[in-house]
């Protein structure tokens, strides 16, 4: 008799996956058609058959330690060819939502950020927060509230909320997001290292690449792959989805860059250090402003493409969309729409509408990024981690990662 594993199937895990878009998981009867037709599956560790079985059996630990879940892009090829309508692509999507929740802290926030009601509530709460901060700020600046105009009699958001209160409000939130995300990613890294059979140290931790190596050898290539969407584009049934997603990704990068430009120029050099004069609002011909506007339009276009492809593929039955999918789409759309709206309204100077839209813009951005370690948006960090880990694990197993680990891996098998 070989070694045996004590099994403690976790019924609540099965029920959780079934309740969040994976209600078909139990239909699988292990023919492995899915793993064969999957364009992204690897020879060494084919998926999604094993994930289906593990989920059926409530083996939460194995599923959470499975990096392959994050290499899946819900192409729908498996779902299309499944003879039992078990819809593996949708099940893996549900598993990912559950995994994000598993690594989130506190978990209740995951429920908030994955439900439409929760997100609307969060946006309202954030808007109220912005309003309160703005009201307090108006007491300090003596500006009119809630519709301040600048000396030219025009809408200027700086008058309403300058960078200092915004930073005072946003930076702690960013710190929180980074803390929770780092915590989640670390646990995720440990779990997938264990799942991949990487050697464990005596202290119970798993090897990690050094920062230098991480950036140069693993994160760099992973990011390059993500930037080209070369893997997503391999999808058979839903390859078109990659186009909108790619546009969206680039818009995020552009908007992230311009936001940072403004943060550094305005917040740091102007407001904090007083090295330069006030830079915002940037004139329309300013290259950064141009980039920001292009980014904003790309964001709206990208999210609309993503939405229409998802709608179409859902109608075709290739994939099923759960609440977290639509929540994320509408949230990003809201960010884009309020951003463009706030700018246009500012330019045409309609204060009573411009300021509320601006408030909503700030609120939706806060909620979007706050949902990073909690909602579907978290795929940004976990999938990227998975891409990195896949390269790392290959090297460790091949003995190319240093540490003499190849012996340990060999011994484990």
d(CA 158, CA 155): 9
Which residue, 53 or 271, has its beta carbon nearer to another protein? 53
Instruction: Tell me if 403 contacts another protein by CB under 8 A.
Output: no
> Is the Cα torsion angle 369, 373, 378, 380 positive or negative in sign?
positive
What secondary structure letter does DSSP report for 155? B
Cβ at position 59, least distance to another protein in Å:
8
CB neighbours of 243 closer than 8 A, spacing ≥ 6?
305, 309
Choose which of 31, 39, 46, 57 interacts with another protein (CB under 8 A).
Answer: 57
Instruction: Tell me if 14 contacts another protein by CB under 8 A.
Output: yes
Which tokens hold the place of 413? 């098998």
Half-sphere exposure of 103 (CA within 13 A, CB side): 32
Place of tokens 């025009």: 154
End-to-end CA distance of the chain: 17
Stretch that binds another protein, among 53-61, 273-281, 332-340, 347-355 (CB under 8 A): 53-61
Which residue, 29 or 179, has its beta carbon nearer to another protein? 29
Cβ neighbours of 64 (radius 10 Å) = 21
Total site size for another protein, rule CB under 8 A = 25
Which residue, 54 or 355, has its beta carbon nearer to another protein? 54
Choose which of 31, 39, 84, 269 interacts with another protein (CB under 8 A).
Answer: 84
Choose which of 11, 273, 275, 411 interacts with another protein (CB under 8 A).
Answer: 11
Stretch that binds another protein, among 10-18, 257-265, 318-326, 390-398 (CB under 8 A): 10-18
Please state the three-class secondary structure of 365-409 as a single string.
HHHHHHCCCCCHHHHHHHHHHHHHHHHHHHHHHHCCCCCCHHHHH
- CA 38 and chain centroid, separation: 23
Which tokens hold the place of 119? 């997100």
Stretch that binds another protein, among 52-60, 87-95, 112-120, 296-304 (CB under 8 A): 52-60
Binding mask 31-50 toward another protein (x if CB under 8 A, else -) reads: -------------------x
Which residue, 20 or 238, has its beta carbon nearer to another protein? 20
Which tokens hold the place of 369? 């990024």
Binding mask 94-123 toward another protein (x if CB under 8 A, else -) reads: ------------------------------
- Phi, psi dihedrals of residue 18, rounded to the nearest 5°: -65, -30
Which residue, 11 or 411, has its beta carbon nearer to another protein? 11
Positions that interact with another protein (CB under 8 A)? 1-9, 11, 14-15, 18, 26-27, 29-30, 50, 53-54, 56-59, 84
């Amino acid at each position: 008799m070989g070694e045996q594993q004590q099994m403690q199937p976790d019924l609540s895990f099965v029920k959780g996956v079934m309740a969040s878009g994976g209600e078909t998981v139990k239909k699988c009867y292990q023919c492995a058609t899915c793993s064969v037709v999957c364009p992204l599956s690897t020879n060494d560790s084919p998926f999604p058959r094993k994930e289906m079985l593990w989920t059926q059996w409530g083996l939460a630990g194995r599923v959470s330690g499975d990096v392959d879940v994050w290499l899946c892009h819900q192409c729908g090829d498996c779902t299309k060819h499944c003879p039992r309508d078990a819809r593996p692509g949708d099940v893996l999507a549900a598993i990912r939502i559950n995994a994000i929740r598993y690594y989130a802290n506190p978990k209740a926030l995951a429920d908030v950020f994955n439900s439409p009601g929760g997100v609307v509530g969060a946006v309202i709460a954030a808007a109220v927060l912005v309003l309160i901060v703005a009201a307090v700020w108006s007491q300090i600046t003596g500006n009119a509230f809630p519709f301040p105009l600048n000396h030219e009699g025009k809408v200027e958001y700086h008058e309403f909320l300058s960078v200092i209160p915004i930073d005072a409000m946003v930076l702690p939130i960013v710190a929180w997001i980074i803390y929770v995300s780092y915590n989640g990613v670390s646990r995720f890294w440990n779990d997938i290292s264990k799942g991949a059979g990487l050697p464990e140290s005596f202290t119970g931790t798993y090897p990690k690449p050094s920062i230098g190596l991480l950036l140069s050898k693993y994160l760099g290539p992973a990011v390059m792959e993500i930037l080209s969407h070369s893997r997503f584009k391999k999808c058979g049934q839903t390859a078109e989805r990659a186009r909108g997603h790619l546009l969206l990704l680039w818009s995020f990068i552009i908007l992230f860059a311009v936001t940072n430009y403004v943060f550094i120029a305005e917040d740091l050099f102007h407001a904090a250090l007083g090295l330069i004069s006030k830079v915002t609002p940037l004139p329309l011909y300013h290259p950064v402003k141009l980039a920001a506007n292009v980014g904003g339009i790309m964001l709206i276009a990208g999210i609309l493409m993503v939405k229409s492809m998802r709608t179409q593929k859902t109608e075709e039955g290739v994939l099923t969309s759960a609440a977290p999918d639509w929540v994320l789409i509408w949230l990003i759309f809201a960010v884009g729409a309020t951003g463009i709206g706030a700018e246009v309204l500012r330019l045409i100077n309609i204060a009573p509408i411009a300021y509320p839209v601006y408030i909503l813009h700030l609120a939706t951005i806060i909620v979007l990024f706050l949902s990073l370690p909690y909602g579907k948006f978290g795929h940004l960090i976990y999938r990227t981690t998975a891409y990195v880990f896949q390269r790392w694990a290959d090297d460790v197993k091949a003995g190319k990662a240093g540490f003499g680990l190849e012996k340990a891996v060999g011994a484990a098998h």
